[in-house]
Amino acid sequence: MKKMIIASTSTTHGSGYLEYILDELSVLFKNIKTIIFVPYARPSGISHNDYTKIASAAFAKIGKNIVGLHTFENPQIAIEKADGIFTGGGNTFVLLSQLYKHNLMVPLKKAINTGTPYLGTSAGSNICGLTIKTTNDMPIMYPPSFNALGLLPFNINPHYLDADANSKHMGETRETRIKEFHYHNTPPVVGLREGSWLLVENEAITLKGALSARIFEYNKPPYELPTGTFLNDLN
């Protein structure tokens, strides 16, 4: 019985860390006092301690305690015993490498599948898909595999950006990159825009937030799905 929030980002324009989604987190982590924070993605290369402090300050606003997973002598046992789990954003390759290094892929997946409430943002959302092949991050580390937790029947592209017709940027768009992915791979990809998230309750996957999502399926033109749509049929 999964209970998850899979968010595109931790911070939207004009808001503090997790501020835009705190009401939803109060529901997700209801009756839970302490949440295990996975800081391995290390945004901008900050330390695990500094990253944990940022998460702690945000969750203190809703009366929750945060404990960094890096502080446990045995992180596997910490995940198995966790009442709630939050994996923050940063570099997805770094995050996945560390999860494999500490043998956390199996216990993390088992904990989530058996009902431990889970929040993922950005990289922490990428790892919930089938693979991390649709991340926007640079491959600054080489994980043993690109295979992720497989908690969703599709891949995620967090921070999805639409092409700007007025931009002078000559590089590839997100849509172009995902089309390249589908030249070699067949799983669907959900482009999650800033401020959007997926709510997973048992087997129901619902798009939440104010914006639609861009959906990419193999050998099909991309299309939009409005907020409130169930995504269970994407596979």
Mean pLDDT over 178-197 rounds to 97
**What percentage of residues in the chain have a pLDDT greater than 70?**
97
- What is d(CA 67, CA 157) in angstroms, rounded to the nearest whole number? 28
- For the whole model, what pTM was predicted? 0.96
Report residue 200: phi and psi, to 5°. -110, 120
What is the CB-side half-sphere exposure of residue 42 using CA atoms within 13 A? 16
CB 160 within 8 A of CB 126: no
Return the pLDDT at 170.
57
What is the rounded average pLDDT for all residues in the chain? Answer: 95
Mean pLDDT over 14-22 rounds to 91
Cα angle, residue 60 at apex, residues 55 and 62 outer, rounded to 5°: 115
Mean pLDDT over 178-206 rounds to 97
Cα angle, residue 146 at apex, residues 142 and 151 outer, rounded to 5°: 140
3-225 belongs to which CATH class? alpha beta
Domain locations in the chain as residue ranges: 3-225
- What is d(CA 39, CA 157) in angstroms, rounded to the nearest whole number? 20
pLDDT tens digits for range 49-104: 999 999 999 999 999 999 999 999 999 999 999 999 999 999 999 999 999 999 99
List active site positions: 122, 137, 159
| Least confident span in 12-16, 139-143, 203-207 | 12-16
